[in-house]
Structures are given as structure tokens and as C-alpha cells.
Amino acid sequence: MAQVTIPAETRRKIESVRNQLLDFHKLLMDGQRAEYERDHGPVRSPGEYLDLVLNHSDFEWLRQLSGLIVAIDEMLAPRSTAGAAEADAAVRDLEALMNENAEGKFQQRLRVVLGRSTEAANAHSQILSALTD
């Protein structure tokens, strides 16, 4: 069976956006952690933080972005059989998720974060720009 591959230009775009997504994801996670700690007190350990990220409702809105990053990582893995169709679908999913005008839990919280944080707004803008390049 012939290996299916992602076209080089599409792969380059996804890899570039992925790196920006990781930074954006961290920014959002750090902000959500700060908000959580303001409301509930300090997170005492990395294990407690991981449990919050995976299970607490305050972090639920970020799980869709986390899942998309994991899916992109799997698609870009050396043994992946993903091709152009899967890559194009990932880009479409990311564009839909990053559309702050769409309706959804992620987008509702995203609008709040973008309104509060110039750093987040700039990172978001760079991701949107990279998606259209």
C-alpha cells in the first residue's frame, strides 16, 4: 500500500500554525489557571493542575483546542497516513474554532479573552493570518 502524504505546502502551513497554536494554547491555559486560582485558591501541584485541565468545568472550553492540537500532532507524525483531505479538514476545523464570531463555548470564552488581553488578541490575529497565507 502506497503511503499517503500531506502536500508539502499544506504541511508547512499546518506546522507553522501548530507552533503558533501551542503558544496561544499556553497563553489561554495560563489565563484560565490565574482565573481559577483567583476563585479557588492556588493550584498546589502539577498533578492537581492536570486533573483540573482534564476534568474541571472551568477548563472545559479549552479542551476543544487541546484536542485539535493533538489531532494535528498525530496527523504530522512520521508514521501518519494522513493525506491532503485530512489536512484540509484540520485547517477547516481550526478556522471554524478560531472564528470568534461563531457560536460555541470556545468562541464565547475566546471573545472575552480577546477583549481583555492584547497579547491574546495579537496571537489570535497571527494564527488567522497564517491560516490564510
Return per-residue pLDDT of the chain as tens, 133 residues. Answer: 445 689 888 888 899 999 999 999 999 999 999 999 999 999 999 999 999 999 999 999 999 999 999 999 999 998 999 999 999 999 999 999 999 999 999 999 999 999 999 999 999 999 999 988 7
Q: For the purposes of burial, counting CB atoms within 10 Å of the CB of 87, is it exposed (0-12), middle (13-18) or buried (19 or more)? A: buried
Q: How many domains does the chain have?
A: 1
- Whether residue 3 is contained in a domain is answered as no
- Whether residue 33 is contained in a domain is answered as yes
Domain with 55 in it = 8-132
The pLDDT value recorded for residue 2 is: 46
CA 71 to chain CA mean position, Å: 10
- Whether residue 73 is contained in a domain is answered as yes
- Whether residue 40 is contained in a domain is answered as yes
Q: What global pTM score does this model have?
A: 0.89
- Whether residue 106 is contained in a domain is answered as yes
- Whether residue 1 is contained in a domain is answered as no
CA angle 69, 75, 76 (to 5 degrees): 90
- Whether residue 28 is contained in a domain is answered as yes
For cell 492556588, the residue is: 42
What are 33-47's pLDDT values in tens digits?
999 999 999 999 999
The backbone torsions φ and ψ at residue 86, rounded to the nearest 5 degrees and listed phi first, read -70, -40
The pLDDT value recorded for residue 3 is: 54
- Whether residue 63 is contained in a domain is answered as yes
